[in-house]
Amino acid sequence: MKKEGIKLYDLIDLTNPQSILNELKYIVSLMVNDFDHAMLEQIYADIKMLFEGDFPGYRASNTKYHDLEHTSSVVLASGRLIHGAFAEGHSFSAKTILLGLVGAIFHDIGFIQTDSDVNGSGAKYTIGHEERSIQFMKEYLSQKYFSEQDLDDCTHIIMCTTLNLEIKDIPFRSNDIAMLGKIVGSADLLAQMADREYLEKLFMLFKEFEEAGMPGYGSELELLQKTQDFYKYVALQRLSQGFENVSAFMRSHFKNRWDHDRDLYQESIIANINYLKTIVEVCNDYYRCYLKYLRRGGLDEKLNHK
């Protein structure tokens, strides 16, 4: 395939956690020599077990939007942004890089229920799931001999994924941790909005919002129709102002890692938003019309199955 025809999802299989881990390890090797790969592998394996229901004391993940694929995609996007920053002259210690990736790995763990929590799904924790993620992270990492300072750093990194929290209100210990927080917060937005099946997955996101009692979205179509404004007035504002445009490091990553002088995330996001604009204009409030245009991932089948 010619370089100009390459798209984001052509490079790495985002549905394969092992492929993502392998790419992360390679990216890290481009930046530092003394990275604790064994620790990253152990944490990543345990989180995979947690999502799949094999971690003691916890049920399998049952949210269809905030799932293992989403978390893995955010971790990869975080690693790519860290590498892009490195390519532009920012240096990070091996430990700091690990804390950034760990923050990304744990950022949505709060959606997962304990064995004794049998009512509903993890979607009921949508509002406030970050605090539950932080609590799990602290309990888990303290058993891996991470210091209190490490736990605080990871806490502040995860806090950056809370959409209604001002970044200036987070008491980062250092400029490096602040940058990693902004990177992970940016990666959370970029990974989901650049997803090849993002528009289809919004139907699953609505189900989570519905169970959580999130205000402002009365139906799947209302969520779809408001997504353009979310991108323009929330995502872009947060990426450019709150996160100080660290998302721009993505282009340097692709240039240095893949010899593609392009920001493939931004290209994918723009394609998604433009397609969404087209189908909203065509379909208006006709539900079945949207399903005619949104067919990736077997959406119609998933909805009928439900």
- 33-91 pLDDT, tens digit each: 999 999 999 999 999 999 999 999 999 999 999 999 999 999 999 999 999 999 999 99
Instruction: Count structural domains, the chain.
Output: 1
* Residue 6 lies inside a defined structural domain of this protein: no
> Using an 8 Å Cβ cutoff, are 261 and 255 in contact?
yes
Distance CA 112, CA 34 (A): 33
Distance CA 217, CA 206 (A): 8
Range of the domain at 119: 12-305
* Residue 1 lies inside a defined structural domain of this protein: no
* Residue 230 lies inside a defined structural domain of this protein: yes
Residue 5 pLDDT? 82
Residue 62 pLDDT? 97
CA distances from 122 to 162, 253, 302 (A): 17, 34, 19
Residue 110 pLDDT? 98
Q: What is the mean pLDDT of the chain?
A: 95
Average pLDDT value for residue range 261-278: 97
Residue 121 pLDDT? 97
> Using an 8 Å Cβ cutoff, are 194 and 8 in contact?
yes
Distance CA 91, CA 94 (A): 10
Distance CA 30, CA 42 (A): 21
Residue 3 pLDDT? 67
pLDDT band at 304 (very low <50, low <70, confident <90, very high): low
Mapping DSSP to helix (H, G, I), strand (E, B) and coil, where does residue 58 land?
A: strand
- The CATH number for 161's domain is 1.10.1300.10
Which parts of 160-197 fold into alpha helices (H)?
Answer: 175-193
pLDDT score of 305 more than 80: no
* Residue 145 lies inside a defined structural domain of this protein: yes
Average pLDDT value for residue range 188-201: 97
Tokens 């390519």 belong to 87
Q: What residues does 114 pair with on adjacent strands?
A: 58
* Residue 97 lies inside a defined structural domain of this protein: yes
